[in-house]
Amino acid sequence: MMNGAESLARTLLAQEVEVCFSNPGTSEMHFVAALDKVEGMRCILGLFEGVATGAADAYYRMTDKPACTLLHLGPGLANGLANLHNAKKAGSGIVNVVGEHARHHIAHNAPLTSDIQGVARPMSAWVKTSESAKSVAHDGALAVHAARQAPGQIATLILPADTAWEEGSGIDTTPYTGQRSAVASDTVETVAQALLRPLRTALLLGGMGVREPALNWVGKIAARTGCAVLSEYNTPRLQRGAGRVITRRIPYAVDAAVALLKEFDQIILVGAKQPVAFFAYPDKPSLLTAPHAQVIPLAGAGDDIVQALTDLSERLQATTMPPLHVADYQPGELPSGALEPLGIGRLLAALIPEGAVVVDESVSTGRGFDLPTTHARPHDWLNVMGGAIGFGMPAAVGAAVGAPGRPVILLEGDGSGMYTLQALWTMARENLNVKVLVFANRAYQILRGELKNVGAGTPGKNATDMLTLDRPCLDWVALAKGHGVPGRQASDLASLAQALQAALAEEGPFLIEVLM
């Protein structure tokens, strides 16, 4: 006999879900026991649920395969919601397995009873509560298929405890047959004609449009038509550095974004959305493109972007052209002196190892890192996609699990890092090769600027108290030590370079507190 929990564990494996980022409780104990019985599921514990969901987001970006999470009832799911929001905006596929009370127990309104479907819905594309142990395997397959739907979706399967412990129905091996939507030839033709017009035109890339296969076609199209190549401010996994086609990132600040985009009469969307401001401000626009600009979609995030770019290249007779805008290798010299953003960017350019994965939640400090690192060794760059801070530390975990053998460099703000610092412990337990740089400016620095931007004036006592992280200063080396991760401080560019070089020379996690 196989109980419902085991039928689910085996179904997930049959559906190629091979990693479970977990934080279970009592109602999930049968599923935990089932994971003991199956071979091939890697179970990774997070000491807070946001660690599990943020890790699953980055894991998907590195593997294009969903992981599952294991979460405890409504509150456990709630703790993971912010990073599910980020994953949803990233188009990452995740299967959440959320325990629920046994069905006969729900009506008794025990302390942990809550509306789990209600908690799941805002961040999930697919939500289902299993109705019996016999349906758990099928529901599990449906959840994986929903998660895999391009570009990737959040699927939440709620598992009442009795459907886990009663007799199940075997394994559901129904294969996933979904495919990315093909872009119509009419659309390709429309875009081709636009590109051939004597207008100032940019391709705006997002989603799979910033991976190497797409970028290669983009470079050929640029070579043929002279169009500019832009990318969204944040992208799920930008492949960049030496040998990759350079994309120009739309700035975060509204005025700078408007200034860049007003240079273009036509914007072709390639896995990107029409660019909008991150926030609204009094007297600033929400839409960032020039009022006269034409915005022309080629492919959405869920479409077959690479095929669309291939078709477009063929239509433009660009397939044999060498790509334009390819970065050469110019790592530059190691900078020295005081710690400031441009210097740190140049330092990263010199030290990023080939094949590294850079996870970027550096918020205000890192806003300009893209320019100096353009000609570094080839690497992947992962941004937080939903703007919910607390992504970086968990994402570094997921990136390291999803890309074994590749070093991960996490660029983290001190304010944002504090949201999910528990991920440090998972890095230590799993001996993940993550080098954490915490930029300790001891403030929600971005908000100081935003207070001005929204016209809210100069901060007084209450506002200052809510924007600063001093009194007391966080001691990140002690925080790392507390989680089992070694660390040190860096107070200038030379000591940062030395610390990062030493950390990169050894396997395993290391934290550097960069004293800004």
The footprint of a copy of itself on residues 103-142 (CB under 8 A) is 104-105, 108-112, 114-115, 118-119, 121-123
* 8 A C-beta contact, residue 58 and residue 397: yes
> What's the closest the beta carbon of residue 24 comes to a copy of itself, in angstroms?
6
Query: Which residue number, 44 or 246, has a Cβ lying nearer to a copy of itself?
Result: 44
User: Is residue 280 a contact residue for a copy of itself (CB under 8 A)?
Assistant: yes
Q: Are strands 238-240 and 379-383 parallel, antiparallel or unpaired?
A: antiparallel
In Å, how far are 107, 225, 348, 445, 499 from 440, measured between CA atoms?
49, 44, 17, 10, 16
Q: Hey, what long-range contacts does 445-452 have (CB within 8 A, 24 or more apart)?
A: 445/363, 445/364, 445/365, 445/413, 445/415, 446/363, 446/364, 449/364, 450/279
Question: Sheet harboring 201-205: ordered strands across?
Answer: 248-249, 228-231, 201-205, 266-270, 294-299
Helices (H), 430-492: 445-453, 461-467, 476-482
Bridge partners of residue 379, in order along the sequence = 240, 356
Nearer to a copy of itself, 156 or 234 (CB): 234
Determine which residue in the list 1, 175, 322, 461 makes contact with a copy of itself, applying CB under 8 A. 461
Query: Is the Cβ of residue 66 or residue 417 nearer to a copy of itself in the bound state?
Result: 417
Q: Where are the beta strands (DSSP E) in 234-332?
A: 238-240, 248-249, 266-270, 294-299
Choose the stretch contacting a copy of itself; rule: CB under 8 A; options: 33-41, 300-308, 311-319, 368-376.
33-41
Per CB under 8 A, does 317 bind a copy of itself? no
Q: How far is the CB of 230 from a copy of itself (least distance, A)?
A: 17
Binders of a copy of itself in range 422-441 (CB under 8 A): 422, 425, 428-429
Q: How would you classify the pairing of strands 434-440 and 356-361?
A: unpaired
Minimum CB–partner distance for residue 345 and a copy of itself (Å): 23
For residue 472, state whether it binds a copy of itself (rule: CB under 8 A).
yes
Spell out, one character per residue from 9 to 28, where the chain touches a copy of itself: x when CB under 8 A holds, - when not: -------------x-xxxx-
If the CB atoms of residues 105 and 138 are measured against a copy of itself, the closer one turns out to be 105
Name the E strands within 138-200.
154-160
Q: Which is nearer to a copy of itself, 70 or 143 (CB)?
A: 70
Choosing from 17, 62, 95, 161, the residue that interacts with a copy of itself (CB under 8 A) is: 161
Token pair belonging to 451 = 């207070």
Does 255 interact with a copy of itself (rule: CB under 8 A)?
A: no
175 binds a copy of itself (CB under 8 A): no
Question: Where do the DSSP E strands lie in 335-479?
Answer: 356-361, 379-383, 408-413, 434-440
Q: Which of 104, 96, 107, 78 is nearest to 28 (CA)?
A: 96
> C-alpha distances in angstroms, 107 versus 101, 133, 134, 515?
10, 19, 22, 53
Which window, 199-207, 219-227, 372-380, 460-468, contacts a copy of itself (CB under 8 A)?
460-468
Tell me which stretch binds a copy of itself (CB under 8 A): 126-134, 160-168, 218-226, 291-299: 160-168
Residue whose CB is less far from a copy of itself, 330 or 464: 464
Find the binder of a copy of itself among 82, 203, 399, 438 (CB under 8 A). Answer: 82
Tokens of 161: 């405890």
Of 474, 493, 515, 516, which lies in the binding site for a copy of itself, with binding defined by CB under 8 A?
A: 474
> Can residue 290 be called a binding residue for a copy of itself (CB under 8 A)?
no
Among 297, 343, 407, 415, binds a copy of itself (CB under 8 A): 415
* Site size for a copy of itself (CB under 8 A): 103
Stretch of 372-380, 402-410, 474-482, 489-497 lying at the interface with a copy of itself (CB under 8 A): 474-482
Q: Which is nearer to a copy of itself, 46 or 378 (CB)?
A: 46
Q: Interface residues for a copy of itself in 377-396 (CB under 8 A)?
A: 385-388, 390
* Residue among 331 and 387 whose Cβ is closer to a copy of itself: 387
Q: Which of 366, 368, 362, 426 is nearest to 400 (CA)?
A: 426
For residues 232 and 289, give the distance between their C-alpha atoms in angstroms, rounded to a whole number: 12
Nearer to a copy of itself, 35 or 221 (CB): 35
Q: 384, 361 in Cβ contact below 8 A?
A: yes
CB of 69 to a copy of itself, least distance (A): 12
CA distance between the termini of the chain: 60
Position 43 contacts a copy of itself (CB under 8 A): yes
Nearest residue to 3 (alpha-carbon basis) of 174, 128, 172, 170: 170
